[in-house]
Chain A
């Protein structure tokens, strides 16, 4: 009997080379971190059940789920708007899974597991906006895209979910969920776009 290993492998396993990339000798203008250990569940209201879902979700998470393009931080999850009457529940791996969410949400909502369908990339540091302007057509100026703003949008003709997390060291942090099969391609495009600013690359199991 063969010994099987079921080691998960990120779509960026090969492409992501931790360390410095692009222009050297300056302080890296871009920090790129892949976050590898998460659960992501798509929650969609059943027909006519949006109000009921909102009620149940509020009871479940302690805060109202987003009903506009926002990302809402709870104590142990991020609720990200993904379309009318639907949102993502993003949490550390094993925290909010299909099984745990089904018990409270499956009445008024349909759930679909997207944990493996996306790659999660965090983009920060001084040149984050300048670099994202090469990939994203939406306005990321602080007045237009405040902390907690989210967008279902496209980068390089690829659907993505983008939201602004809490600032780090006074600098904006942008989080990006990209389809797993597109991830390596978009990653290279990100590196090409970021190279001039100097990039610091890493990955993490922590949010």
Chain B
């Protein structure tokens, strides 16, 4: 066991002394106990200096005991799990914990950058705006890199996080934030009423301030009441208490975000366990019992290690049996601060003095002081003498002008309490000012949310219990649960009696925002320079913009601004509150969606067969599609793709095209419906035939294309492109439900029902004859081009056969129910072996469609009309259809539109690239003479050169013209010839043969 815990009390506290834990801070070995935080364990070991401040690199200690901590930020863990800016005050101690201080070099005690303090006059508010203005060209080269090196707190791991994160939904009637007296009372009443309750507690131990401040509830000591209450709640099946969980945000419709630190208290999560879990909680009502945050008073040297919030000081003593100081002074402006004196005395610590800023101190406290032998000084702390080893002496300005000095090694400060107004203000609610406690209290909370107890500005234990209980019962009732809640727990209310005090004038830096090193004089400067609005103040000084979001600093900053601008605090107002309440790891938002599972993936029915074939896959939307099937000895993709194309054109090949969207269109008006959504007519399509169709958007631009077959009088089978499958389904449902409700049409996606293969090449029929039942007539007469019908396969399986071609070859598409897709691929290989059947991927598919001049995604670009694509003749003039009127707009039928045309390089050896601009030959490229661009290119094995499709102004009138291709992105310029887009078999003999 390393190091003696010199600052640990001999007994008491909620630590488990039977479970000692070893840990290291900045490489030095220490020990603590189960139940410690890193902060309490450091305190127990007498460590006062834990970090350096952001801007001035000032030595900093531990200020608070909770998630509001601005100072004690450390790098926790090492290697891939290293996490910067972890609050030592909330990090649970575990065996082997390793933490390192931040923002110092070479060491915490000797930090070179602390020279920044000497330059403090230039690091004032607006420093960046003022300093790095000139010369402008210095910004990128010098200023920004230098700032980036100096700025930031802690170092990210820089390695992928090895842990798993999780996301989950939860539902309840009543959601409660906080397990202090108000939260527990709310859980009791809501739970007893029969409501489903979720209570989130940030801490790893339930009880909130009861753990530190004790008290008497229903005649029982707080600890006994707590344990009895938790037992009662545990017995309620619909009350769920989630510790280590912070409610960080509230969203529309009663949805809340919470982060659960499931295994942060262990060195690493056990196998199969998650590190953190992001909860999305849907709640009908929410009771915010998140308590209040004690606020500092701004005085010179208030950031010296050893200066600590009074409530935190007694938490360390009472809950953790750790003593931040042996001789403590208290600086308070309210009665609550005195509780620290009582706790310290009870633990046998010495009180050096109480500096009370109020005019009067109660007789009870006076007699306590005289009995315990410490002075009560009326006045304020105006300076602290100390440094990285902590507080030594405290300078006091006494009421009336005299000065005094107090020797102490710790200074507890209480400036009053600020209710935690974050959650209640996240829907732009503006908290309102309450004079009696000199603090903002919640107002304008999101629908269904109320604050109770200290979070509502009522700090007394009795008030917390009664308000929490009433809020829980009301919330349950609102959610429809009227069970007997019983009576509220009872306790006395403590006196609060506060005299506001925000800032004590004095010599030296007086910090408002500890984490961002914003001082009182920065705020005064901002006011002088005209940044008086709180939103300006915030951005100009960066007040409240650090990872703690100003939990300890915002109100003091506003108060100082109010004072210097001659306004009241409520007139000065608050900035807008935004979630998250505490920092949330990106990993938690991602959950299991990382690496291969970043998004859902769709696999075709023959996917695993293609994997066996060694296919290279390409992501197409969510799909994995076989891109090509490399063979041994092939040196690159082009060689494989060229082989596949040649094999198809010279024999037969097949490709899984199951990714096409497939929709069953049923109903007596199915044909009439298709007539309205396609530009061409489908009601006159014969049963057993297929037809190519083109759909427009209502604005006249082409939306999607595909082949639709009529399988029965009242049944069409519609296909869409892969990319638009879901959107076309949505569009058709819109047409069916919203626009044309009078039609008898039913739509069903059958994309997943059918495995569909394209079989292409002159030997297609030979192959098919091996697969289909010999009774099926596949001759040109028996199964003509654009035929579509059900066939029986050898073995009796029913399939659908479509004689359609996208490649320009003799081709069929064959569909079988999806679970037979794998068998179909294998059987095609088997049946096709004598004909040299070759599976081909999407690249070869693309090459053949470009050779044949078929349009695809790059041409269906959301800017092209049917006429642009050369399909203007398909536009029926005999019927109305989606997009008809808008397609006739002047600009969409203008003669100089860019239309699809073929291109080939004049230098046959040149490679084409899509994206190149088309410029008239002999002209200097510029926006004025840009006539279009190259949409699709490929190396055409058939033409033995690169070919492409382009959208070119008046392109079809200019066939044969040589134009210039300008590709500034790749620095290429070359000439191309405009040509017929159909490079292959222009008269269509092959596909009809």
Complex A–B touching at CB under 8 A: yes
- Which of A48, A114, A133 has a CB less than 8 Å from the CB of B169? A133
Which residue from B667, B753, B820 sits with its C-beta under 8 Å from A117?
Answer: B753
Complexed CA–CA distance, A114 and B751 (Å): 10
Give Cα distance in the complex from A133 to B198, angstroms: 15
CB B89 to nearest CB in A, in angstroms, measures 29
Q: Is the CB of B168 within 8 A of A112?
A: no
Do B170 and A133 touch across chains, with their CB atoms under 8 A apart?
yes
Q: Are B170 and A134 in contact (CB under 8 A)?
A: no
Q: Which residues of B contact A8 (CB under 8 A)?
A: 817, 819-820, 823
Bound CA span A132–B535, Å? 43
Kindly state the separation between the CA atoms of A23 and B274 in the bound complex, as whole angstroms.
Answer: 12
Contact partner of B748 (CB less than 8 A), chosen from A7, A112, A115, is: A112
Cβ proximity bits B575-597 to A, threshold 8 Å, 1 near / 0 not: 00000000000000001100001
Q: By the criterion CB–CB under 8 Å, are A4 and B754 in contact?
A: no
The minimal Cβ–Cβ distance linking B67 to chain A, given in whole angstroms, is: 26
In this assembly, does B724 line the interface, its C-beta being within 8 Å of a C-beta of chain A?
no
The answer to whether residues A117 and B743 also contact, given A9-B822, A14-B608, A184-B601 and a CB cut-off of 8 A, is no
CB distance from A180 to the nearest CB of B (A): 4
Contact A114 B820 (CB under 8 A): no
**Alpha-carbon gap, A193 to B797, bound state (A):** 38
B196 and A141 contact, CB distance less than 8 A = yes
- CB-contact partner of A110 in B168, B666, B821, under 8 A: B666
- Write the chain B residue with the least CB distance to A36: B819
Determine if A167 is an interface residue (Cβ-Cβ < 8 Å).
no
Closest chain A residue to B269 by CB distance?
Answer: A196
Residue from the list B271, B592, B752, B826 in contact with A192, Cβ < 8 A: B592
Contact with B along A83-114 (1 / 0, CB 8 A): 00010000000000000000000000011111
Interface centre among A2, A7, A110, A189 (most CB of B within 10 A): A110
Taking a contact as CB atoms under 8 Å apart, the answer to whether B597 and A192 are in contact is yes
Shortest Cβ distance from B602 into A: residue: A181
CB distance from A51 to the nearest CB of B (A): 15
- Find B823's partner among A5, A44, A113 (CB 8 Å cutoff): A5
Question: For the complex, what is the distance from the CA of A109 to the CA of B273, rounded to whole Å?
Answer: 49
Q: Could you mark each residue 740-756 of chain B with 1 if its beta carbon is under 8 Å from any beta carbon of chain A, else 0?
A: 00111110111111100
Closest to A110 in B: B666
A113–B746 CA distance with the chains assembled, in angstroms: 13
User: Given A9-B819, A134-B167, A182-B602: A118 and B752 within 8 A (CB)?
Assistant: yes
When distances are taken between beta carbons in the complex, the residues of chain B under 8 Å from A195 are: 272
Residue contact A110 to B667, C-beta cutoff 8 Å: yes
Please give me the residue from chain A that is nearest to B752 by CB atom.
Answer: A117
Contact yes or no, B794 A4, CB < 8 A? yes
Q: Which residue of A lies closest to B270 (CB)?
A: A23
A14 to B611, CA, bound (A): 12
- How many chain B residues touch A (CB < 8 A): the figure is 65
Question: Chain A residues with Cβ under 8 A from B749's Cβ?
Answer: 117
Nearest opposing residue in chain A for B831, CB measure:
A2
- A51 CA to B754 CA, complexed, in Å: 31
Given the known interface contacts A112-B748, A139-B282, the answer about A186 and B819 at a Cβ–Cβ threshold of 8 Å is no
Residues A180 and B752 in contact, CB atoms below 8 Å apart: yes
B693-722: which residues lie under 8 A (CB-CB) from chain A?
714-715
Shortest A183–chain B CB gap in Å is 8
Task: Report B-chain residues with C-beta under 8 Å of the C-beta of A138.
Answer: 169
A116 surroundings in chain B (CB, below 8 A): 752-754, 817-820
Asked whether A4 lies within 8 Å of B280 as measured between CB atoms, the reply is no
A116-145 vs B: 1/0 string, CB under 8 Å? Answer: 111000000000001001101111010010
The CA of A17 and the CA of B833, in the complex, are separated in Å by 33
By beta carbon, the residue of chain B nearest A43 is B746
A133 touches B817 (CB 8 A): no
Q: Are B754 and A44 in contact (CB under 8 A)?
A: no
Complex alpha-carbon distance, A63 and B168, angstroms = 37
Assess A46 versus B818: contact at CB under 8 Å? Given A139-B282, A141-B171.
no
Q: What is the bound-complex CA distance between A14 and B608, given in angstroms?
A: 8
**A46 and B667 in contact, given A136-B169, A182-B600 (Cβ under 8 angstroms):** yes
A10 part of interface (Cβ distance < 8 Å): yes
Provide the residues of chain A in CB contact with B591, threshold 8 Å.
134
Quick check: is B115 within 8 A (CB to CB) of the other chain?
Answer: no
B603 at the interface (CB under 8 A from A): yes
List residues 57-86 of chain A with CB under 8 A from any CB of chain B.
Answer: 86
Tell whether, in the assembled complex, residue B830 and residue A23 are in contact, meaning their CB atoms are under 8 Å apart.
no
Task: Verify A188–B819 contact, CB threshold 8 A.
Answer: no
A116, B800: Cα distance in complex, Å = 15
Contact yes or no, A9 B599, CB < 8 A = no
Asked if A148 is at the interface (CB within 8 A of a chain B CB), the reply is no
B836 to chain A, nearest CB (A): 15
Which residues of B are at the interface with A, using a C-beta cutoff of 8 A? Answer: 164, 166-171, 196, 271-274, 280, 282, 591-592, 597, 599-605, 608, 622-623, 658, 664, 666-669, 714-715, 742-746, 748-754, 770-771, 793-795, 797, 817-823, 826-827, 830-831, 833
Q: List 23 A-B contacts (CB under 8 A).
A: A2-B830, A4-B793, A4-B827, A8-B823, A14-B608, A110-B748, A112-B748, A113-B750, A113-B753, A116-B817, A116-B818, A117-B751, A134-B168, A138-B169, A139-B171, A141-B196, A181-B752, A184-B603, A185-B600, A185-B601, A185-B603, A186-B600, A189-B592
Give A residues with C-beta under 8 Å from B.
1-2, 4-11, 13-14, 22-23, 42, 44-48, 86, 110-118, 130, 133-134, 136-139, 141, 144, 156-158, 179-182, 184-186, 188-189, 192-193, 195-196
Q: A181-B605, A182-B601 are in contact. List 8 more A-B contacts (CB 8 A).
A: A8-B820, A44-B746, A110-B748, A114-B748, A181-B752, A184-B601, A185-B600, A188-B597
5 shortest interchain CB distances as A-B pairs: A110-B666, A47-B744, A8-B819, A117-B752, A117-B753
